[in-house]
């Protein structure tokens, strides 16, 4: 059976997965035995050594978050990679598991509250809405107008706020680099601000 388990296991497998750990304990052996007895693959983590960080006086870091997959799962998906994303709210870094080409379904439409703060937005929507012309039953007419409005809003959003996604991506990248720097050499007082 093909399956994948991604979790915060709250245990490490090897001493090098915790900062300052130098010995194997019985729990480390038990966790490794569990993985091997169930023929699981502990996917390697790309781009980082640790997934959990405690922000206190003494640095504390470990790799307690893992993706474990069955051999059948690993054979079914090509080019599997696991990497860490920037942590924002938690001590744990989110993990991104990618497996070859992933088919995406339709994404849900999301109304952004920031649109309402944009000058002329309500008038623009009214203009679009009044400009739609469809024939059919009232429910069909409404559905077609909503579909057309969704397309107009998505296009307008891309044109108006194109740099927003770019700025967000840059900020997340900065956070990830701070996590890496903290892991390697620690953060200065300036970095922590």
Q: Are residues 17 and 79 in the same domain?
A: yes
pLDDT digits (tens, 9 = 90+) for 110-137: 888 888 999 999 999 999 999 998 776 7
| Global pTM value | 0.50
Q: Are residues 72 and 120 in the same domain?
A: no
Strands 52-54 and 60-62, sheet pairing: antiparallel
At 4, list the tokens.
Answer: 């994948």
Per-residue 3-state assignment (H helix, E strand, C coil) for 118-147: CCCHHHHHHHHHHHCCCCCCHHHHHHHHHH
Question: By the 8 A CB rule, do 132 and 145 touch?
Answer: yes
Q: Are residues 23 and 97 in the same domain?
A: yes
Q: Are residues 125 and 74 in the same domain?
A: no
Q: Are residues 17 and 96 in the same domain?
A: yes
Q: Are residues 89 and 128 in the same domain?
A: no
List the strands of the sheet with 65-70, edge to edge: 4-8, 65-70, 40-42
Q: Tell me the pLDDT of the chain (193 aa) as tens digits.
A: 778 889 889 999 888 888 888 888 888 889 988 988 888 888 888 878 888 888 777 778 899 899 898 877 777 776 777 888 888 778 888 888 887 654 444 567 788 888 899 999 999 999 999 999 877 677 767 878 888 999 899 889 888 877 666 677 777 778 877 777 777 777 777 767 6
The whole-number pLDDT of residue 128 equals 95
In 3D space, the residue among 95, 64, 56, 94 whose CA is nearest the CA of residue 186 turns out to be 56
78 falls within a domain: yes
In total, how many domains does the chain have? 2
Distance (Å, whole) CA 4 – CA 65 = 13
Q: Are residues 52 and 83 in the same domain?
A: yes
108 falls within a domain: no
Neighbours of 53 (CB within 10 A): 19
Q: Are residues 45 and 135 in the same domain?
A: no
Distance (Å, whole) CA 18 – CA 24 = 11
Range of the domain at 24: 4-103
Distance (Å, whole) CA 31 – CA 14 = 10
């Amino acid at each position: 059976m093909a399956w994948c388990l991604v979790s915060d296991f709250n245990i490490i497998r090897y001493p090098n997965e915790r900062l300052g750990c130098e010995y194997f304990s019985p729990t480390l052996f038990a966790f490794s035995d569990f993985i091997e007895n169930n023929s699981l693959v502990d996917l390697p983590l790309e781009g980082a050594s640790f997934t959990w960080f405690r922000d206190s006086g003494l640095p504390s870091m470990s790799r307690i978050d893992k993706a474990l997959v069955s051999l059948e799962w690993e054979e079914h998906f090509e080019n599997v990679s696991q990497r860490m994303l920037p942590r924002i709210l938690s001590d744990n870094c989110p993990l991104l598991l990618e497996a070859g080409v992933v088919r995406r379904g339709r994404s849900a439409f999301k109304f952004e509250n920031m649109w309402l703060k944009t000058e002329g937005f309500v008038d623009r929507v009214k203009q679009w809405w009044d400009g739609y012309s469809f024939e059919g039953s009232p429910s069909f007419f409404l559905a077609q107008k909503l579909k057309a409005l969704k397309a107009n809003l998505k296009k307008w959003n891309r044109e108006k706020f194109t740099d927003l996604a770019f700025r967000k991506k840059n900020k997340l990248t900065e956070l990830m680099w701070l996590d890496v720097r903290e892991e390697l050499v620690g953060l200065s007082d300036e970095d922590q601000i």
